[in-house]
C-alpha cells in the first residue's frame, strides 16, 4: 500500500480541472492524500478527511473528476468551493489568470487563515503582473510555479498520476515570499514525485521560451505548412518516426499555446530571432555546399543533445548554471575481496583535454584514439563545438577534430561550461586570452570554489584583461582583442596547469614566453606542442616558446591515465593474494610519483612492455601483493604524485609504521581540501593520523591478514578522488564503508564501478537521498 502523503493540507482547491489540474489531483491521490481508507483513525473513531475540490467552468469536467475519484467535489463558481481552502492551485490558461486572481482576491477571506496560493502557468512575468493588479502587490503567500510536464492530450479524462514523476517543477519565489508558504508548495510537488527547483521570474521566462515555447511554435508552423500543401496526404503518409516525434507537440491545446505566446511574447521573439539566424547560417552552408560548416552544426547539435542530457540526468538544470545539485549517489563497499585480473583504465584526462585544444587550433584533421569519455573531457569537446569547431565522436574513444587554425575560433553564444574540470578552465584561460572575442568560463559548484587567480594574475602581466569572482574564483570573464606580450614568469608553486596556461597564451603573445617551475610538473603540453610542430625549448627548470607560430594536425593515441590506474595499483598493493595487470598506462616521467612512492613502500610493482606512443611513454603495470611499510615521502616526489595522494593515503593506512607527507599544501585547493577531507575520512574509519598545514602523518595498521581499520560513513565532498580512495579502502575494512556524494566519479573515471567489481571489490551504488 502506498504510504500516506506528506502533504498536510486540510483542503486543496484546484481551479481548472484540465490535464494539468486533473493530473495533480491524480498524483496526490496516488500518494495517499485524502485516501478513503484513512477514515478510520485506528479504532479512535472517524477523523475529518483531507479533501481535494475543484472549480471549472465545465460542469461535465467536475462530474467526470468526481466519477474518476480524483476530487471530492466541485463547482463551476469559485465562491462555491473557496470556503476553508488551505491551498489553492490555479491551473487555468495563462491569459485567464488575471481574471481568476481578481475574483480570488475578493474571496480569500472565506478561505483558511493561512491559505497558500500557487499556479502552474508556463510564463511567470505576465502572471506576476496579474497578481499585482489583482491583489495590489505580490502576496507573501502566493508562490508562482511551473511544472515542466504535459501532454498533447487535454481534459481531466487524460489525467495521469505519473505526469510529474521525475519531472521538474520550477518555483519562482519573490524576495518577500513567506518561507512557510514556499515549503508547503515544495511539499505538494514533491509528493507527486517531482524534482522541485527555484529560479527568478525573468530567467524562467527566458529559459522556457527557448526550451519549450520555441519548439512548440516550430512544430505548429511545420505541420501547418505541410498541411496546406497539395501533396499533404502523400507527405503525411510517408512521414517517418522522426517527423512524428518532432511534430507530436503540434497536437497540443491551441488556445493554451496562443495564450502562452501572447503572455511571453518578448522572450519568444528573442528566441525566435536566434533560431532564424541559425537557420540562415545553415541555409547558406547548404547553398554553398560547405560540408565542414554543416558538419560543425550537426555534430555540435548532436553532441550537445547527448552531453546536456547527461548533465541533466545527474544534476538539476545544471546546464543553466542556476540550480543546486538534487540527485545524490552513494557507494557502499562491503569488506574483503581480492584484486586479480587484467584491465585497462580509461584514457589520460590531461592528455585528452590537450588533444582537443591543440587539435582545434591546428591546421588539418587530428585523429585521436583512446580519448577519455568522461564529463570533464566531454565539456572540453562541447566548448570547442560552441566555438565553431567540427568534431566527430567520441565513438569508443575515437575523436576526429577538424582544426580551424590559430585564429579560426568563433565567439560562443554564451558562457562556456566546463563542469568540474579545473584543468580545462585554467588551460582555456590562457588559450582564450589571445582570442579576438570575449568569453566567460564557468563550471559546477565544486569548480567555482577553486582558485583561479594563479592563472589570472600572470595572464594580466601578459596584457590579458580577466575578471574573476570574489577571491579570484570562477566564473572568469575574459575580454578579447588584447595584445599579449611574452613574459618570464617564476611560478610560486609547482603547477602543470599554470605552466600550460601561460604556454598556450604564449602562442598568441609577441616575443618569448618563459616559465620557471620550482619543481618538475607534468609536461604533456610541451610534448604535444612539439608533436604538432610547434617548437618548445627546455633548459633545466625553464621552458619557453616564441609566439606567432602555427600548429599542424597530428595523430594522437591517448595512454591510460596513471591517476585512474592508481586506485587499482593501491587496491592490489594492500590486498593479500592480489595479482593485477594494468595495460597501456602512461608513464610520463613527470607523472610517475605514485610508482616511485609505492616502490619505496615495498610494493611489488613492475613495468612491462614499455614503449613510446605518440611521444608519450607507456607500459603495462604488473603489481602483486606484498606487505607495505610506512615511509617519509620524498619532497621531490610530491608534485609528481599530487593527484594520487588520496589513494596513497589508503596505502599508508595499510602499511606497517608511519607514513609522513610534507610540502603538499597544494592538496588543500583541489576539488576539495583533500588533506582535510582525507583526514576526516580516515578518522571516520578509525585510522590514527596527525594533520599538518602542508601534510599528514598516517599510522598504518600493518596487519598482513584481516582488517586494518573499521567501517564508517565518508563525506566525499563531491570530490571524485576522495570517493574512489575510500572505495578501495573497503578491501581491508572490518565493516562496510559508505561514501556519500559519488556522482562526480564519472567526471574523471567513467566505468570505475564496473572495473572495481571486475577485479574483485564488492561495491553497490545506492540513492543518496537523506534518510535512505
Binding residues: 349-350, 354, 422, 450, 495, 497, 643, 670, 674, 721
Q: Annotate 213-279 with three-state secondary structure.
A: HHHHHHHHHHHHHHHCCCCHHHHHHCCCHHHHHHHHHHHCCHHHHHHHHHHCHHHHHHHHHHHHHHH
Q: Provide the grid cell at 693.
A: 598545514
Cα(713)–Cα(736) distance, rounded to whole angstroms? 9
User: Cell 555534430 belongs to which residue?
Assistant: 299
The candidate with the shortest Cα–Cα distance to 381, out of 413, 407, 404, 359, is 359
Query: Angle CA(89)–CA(91)–CA(93) in degrees, nearest 5?
Result: 150
Pick the catalytic residue from 299, 643, 719, 741: 643
Cα(513)–Cα(186) distance, rounded to whole angstroms? 55
Q: Can 643 be counted among the known catalytic residues? A: yes
Q: Provide the grid cell at 211.
A: 526550451
Query: Angle CA(55)–CA(58)–CA(60) in degrees, nearest 5?
Result: 105
Cα(694)–Cα(244) distance, rounded to whole angstroms? 61
Burial of 449 (0-12, 13-18, 19+ CB in 10 A): middle
Query: Angle CA(635)–CA(639)–CA(643) in degrees, nearest 5?
Result: 125
* DSSP-assigned beta bridge partners for residue 195: 168
Binding residues for phosphoenolpyruvate: 349, 422, 450, 497, 674, 721
Is residue 46 helix, strand or coil? strand
> Do 171 and 197 contact (CB within 8 A), yes or no?
yes
DSSP one-letter code for 210:
I
**84, HSE (Cβ side, Cα atoms, 13 Å):** 9
The rounded radius of gyration (Å) of the Cα atoms in the chain is: 30
Q: Where are the alpha helices (DSSP H) in 315-370?
A: 349-361
The candidate with the shortest Cα–Cα distance to 412, out of 391, 443, 389, 429, is 389
Burial of 179 (0-12, 13-18, 19+ CB in 10 A): exposed
> Do 53 and 17 contact (CB within 8 A), yes or no?
no
Tallying the residues shown for the chain, one arrives at 772
Cα(79)–Cα(106) distance, rounded to whole angstroms? 9
Query: Angle CA(325)–CA(327)–CA(329) in degrees, nearest 5?
Result: 115
**Strands of the 87-90 sheet, one edge to the other:** 73-75, 51-55, 11-15, 87-90, 116-119, 142-143
> Do 379 and 357 contact (CB within 8 A), yes or no?
no
Q: Provide the grid cell at 224.
A: 501547418
User: Which residues have CB under 8 Å from 526's CB, separation 6+?
Assistant: 503, 536, 538, 543
Cα(413)–Cα(385) distance, rounded to whole angstroms? 11
Write out the catalytic residue numbers. Answer: 643
Amino acid at each position: 500500500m502506498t504510504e500516506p502523503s506528506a502533504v498536510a493540507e486540510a483542503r486543496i482547491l484546484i481551479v481548472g480541472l484540465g490535464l494539468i489540474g486533473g493530473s495533480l489531483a491524480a498524483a496526490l491521490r496516488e500518494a495517499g492524500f485524502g485516501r478513503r481508507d484513512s477514515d478510520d483513525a485506528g479504532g479512535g473513531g472517524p477523523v475529518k478527511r483531507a479533501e481535494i475540490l475543484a472549480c471549472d467552468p465545465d460542469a461535465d469536467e467536475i462530474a467526470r473528476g468526481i466519477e474518476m475519484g480524483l476530487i471530492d467535489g466541485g463547482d463551476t463558481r469559485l465562491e462555491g468551493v473557496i470556503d476553508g481552502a488551505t491551498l489553492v492551485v490555479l491551473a487555468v490558461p495563462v491569459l485567464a489568470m488575471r481574471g481568476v486572481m481578481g475574483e480570488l482576491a475578493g474571496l480569500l477571506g472565506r478561505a483558511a487563515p493561512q491559505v497558500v496560493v500557487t499556479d502552474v502557468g508556463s510564463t511567470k512575468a505576465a502572471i506576476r503582473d496579474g497578481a499585482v493588479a489583482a491583489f495590489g502587490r505580490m502576496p507573501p503567500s502566493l508562490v508562482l510555479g511551473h511544472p515542466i510536464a504535459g501532454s498533447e492530450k487535454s481534459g481531466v479524462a487524460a489525467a495521469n498520476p505519473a505526469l510529474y514523476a521525475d519531472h521538474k517543477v520550477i518555483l519562482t519565489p519573490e524576495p518577500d515570499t513567506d518561507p512557510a508558504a514556499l515549503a508547503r508548495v515544495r511539499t505538494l510537488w514533491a509528493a507527486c514525485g517531482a524534482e522541485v527547483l527555484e529560479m527568478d521570474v525573468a530567467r524562467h521566462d527566458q529559459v522556457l521560451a527557448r526550451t519549450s515555447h520555441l519548439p512548440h511554435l516550430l512544430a505548429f508552423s511545420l505541420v501547418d505548412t505541410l498541411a496546406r500543401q497539395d501533396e499533404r496526404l502523400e507527405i503525411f503518409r510517408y512521414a517517418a518516426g522522426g517527423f512524428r516525434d518532432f511534430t507530436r507537440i503540434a497536437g497540443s491545446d491551441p488556445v493554451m499555446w496562443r495564450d502562452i505566446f501572447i503572455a511571453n511574447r518578448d522572450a519568444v521573439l528573442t528566441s525566435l530571432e536566434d533560431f532564424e539566424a541559425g537557420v540562415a547560417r545553415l541555409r547558406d552552408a547548404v547553398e554553398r555546399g560547405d560540408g565542414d560548416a554543416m558538419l560543425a552544426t550537426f555534430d555540435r547539435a548532436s553532441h550537445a543533445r547527448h552531453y546536456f542530457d547527461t548533465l541533466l540526468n545527474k544534476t538539476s538544470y545544471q546546464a543553466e548554471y542556476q540550480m543546486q545539485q538534487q540527485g545524490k549517489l552513494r557507494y557502499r563497499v562491503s569488506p574483503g575481496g581480492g584484486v586479480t585480473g587484467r584491465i585497462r583504465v580509461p584514457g589520460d584526462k590531461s592528455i585528452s583535454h590537450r588533444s582537443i585544444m591543440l587539435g582545434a587550433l591546428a591546421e588539418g584533421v587530428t585523429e585521436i584514439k583512446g580519448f577519455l569519455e568522461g564529463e570533464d573531457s566531454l565539456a572540453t569537446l562541447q566548448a570547442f563545438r560552441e566555438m565553431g569547431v567540427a568534431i566527430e565522436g567520441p565513438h569508443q574513444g575515437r575523436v576526429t577534430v577538424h582544426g580551424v587554425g590559430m585564429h579560426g575560433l568563433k565567439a560562443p553564444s554564451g558562457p562556456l561550461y566546463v563542469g568540474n574540470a579545473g584543468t580545462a578552465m585554467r588551460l582555456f584561460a590562457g588559450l582564450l586570452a589571445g582570442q579576438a572575442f570575449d568569453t566567460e568560463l564557468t563550471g559546477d559548484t565544486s569548480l567555482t570554489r577553486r582558485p583561479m587567480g594563479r592563472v589570472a594574475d600572470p595572464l594580466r602581466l601578459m596584457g590579458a584583461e580577466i575578471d574573476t569572482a570574489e577571491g579570484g574564483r570562477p566564473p572568469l570573464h575574459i575580454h578579447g582583442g588584447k595584445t599579449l606580450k611574452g613574459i618570464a614568469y617564476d611560478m610560486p608553486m609547482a603547477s602543470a596547469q599554470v605552466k600550460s596556461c601561460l604556454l598556450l597564451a604564449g602562442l598568441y603573445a609577441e616575443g618569448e614566453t618563459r616559465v620557471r617551475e620550482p619543481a618538475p610538473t607534468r609536461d604533456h603540453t610541451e610534448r604535444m606542442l612539439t608533436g604538432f610542430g610547434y617548437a618548445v625549448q627546455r633548459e633545466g627548470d625553464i621552458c619557453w616558446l616564441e609566439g606567432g607560430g602555427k600548429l599542424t594536425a597530428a595523430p594522437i593515441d591517448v595512454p591510460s591515465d596513471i591517476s585512474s590506474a592508481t586506485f587499482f595499483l593501491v587496491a592490489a598493493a594492500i590486498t593479500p593474494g592480489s595479482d593485477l595487470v594494468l595495460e597501456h598506462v602512461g608513464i610520463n616521467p613527470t607523472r610517475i610519483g605514485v610508482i616511485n612512492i609505492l616502490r619505496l613502500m615495498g610494493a611489488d610493482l613492475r613495468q612491462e612492455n614499455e614503449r613510446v606512443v605518440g611521444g608519450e611513454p607507456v607500459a603495462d603495470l604488473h603489481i602483486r601483493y606484498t606487505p607495505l611499510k610506512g615511509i617519509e615521502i620524498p619532497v621531490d616526489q610530491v608534485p609528481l604524485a599530487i593527484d594520487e595522494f588520496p589513494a596513497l593515503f589508503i596505502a599508508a593506512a595499510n602499511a606497517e609504521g608511519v607514513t609522513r607527507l610534507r610540502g603538499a599544501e597544494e592538496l588543500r585547493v583541489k576539488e576539495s581540501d583533500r588533506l582535510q577531507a582525507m583526514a576526516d575520512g580516515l578518522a571516520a574509519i578509525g585510522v590514527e593520523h596527525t594533520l599538518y598545514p602542508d601534510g599528514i602523518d598516517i599510522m598504518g595498521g600493518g596487519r598482513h591478514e584481516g582488517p586494518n581499520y573499521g567501517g564508517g560513513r565518508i563525506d566525499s565532498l563531491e570530490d571524485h578522488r576522495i570517493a574512489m580512495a575510500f572505495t578501495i579502502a573497503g578491501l581491508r575494512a572490518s565493516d562496510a564503508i559508505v561514501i556519500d556524494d559519488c556522482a562526480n566519479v564519472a567526471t574523471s573515471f567513467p566505468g570505475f564501478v564496473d572495473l572495481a567489481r571486475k577485479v574483485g571489490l564488492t561495491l553497490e551504488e545506492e540513492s543518496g537521498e537523506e534518510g535512505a
